[in-house]
Amino acid sequence: MKAHFIGNGKSNRLFNSPYGIVVCGNIPNHSIPYTALSIIDTKVILYLKDSKQHLENIDVWCSPVIKKHADIHQVKGRWHTIYTPTWRYNSGHQAVNHLSKNPHLKIIELWGMDSMWSDDLISQMDDRVIRSKRPPLNNEWRPNWKKIFAQHPNMMYVINAPKGIEQVDYGKNTRYKLH
């Protein structure tokens, strides 16, 4: 069985897999059908509240703090508190780490995770959740990816990226698929 995590980097347009579990980060700005959302940022909850969006029929994977904020702001959804807050983990780290514990999965493909191979931190969420300035988080996120992948040596991680990128080595159980 296979799973996919779709981030909000511009390369998420490369997604082309018709089967498997599909988890998206935050509130996607695409029409790809998904199984669940991964939300770890209280600013996303405030955006949902202010835009009067609800996630009634959607499974949302989150931490207890995020569920509490959703409850306080009356953002409806099927909130599952499965994450433990971890310093400098993004919604992708959390979702992929959680998926990696599923004994039925053999492959997790990552899409739209441009910060894994570039300095591009632009997110399709930036038009909805305004951020003043971002530090170079890719420098802090990459070691976390290596740690997650190393903790799950029997899982194969496929990083989907555009042709011509400079590949970062994430370990022996990772490979790139260039499109």
Buried b (16+ CB within 10 A) or exposed e, 64-80: eebbebbeeeebebebe
pTM, whole model, 2 decimals?
Answer: 0.92
What DSSP designation does 52 have?
T
Q: How many CB atoms lie within 10 A of CB 151?
A: 11
**Closest to 78 in 3D by CA, of 43, 36, 42, 49:** 36
| pLDDT, one tens digit for every residue, the chain (179 residues) | 999 999 999 999 999 987 899 999 998 888 899 999 999 999 999 999 999 988 989 999 999 999 999 999 999 999 999 999 998 999 999 999 999 999 999 999 999 999 999 987 666 665 666 666 666 677 888 999 999 999 999 999 999 999 999 999 999 999 999 99
User: What distance lies between CA 172 and its chain's CA centroid?
Assistant: 21
**Closest to 109 in 3D by CA, of 39, 10, 14, 27:** 14
Q: What is the pLDDT of residues 139-168, one digit of tens each?
A: 888 999 999 999 999 999 999 999 999 999
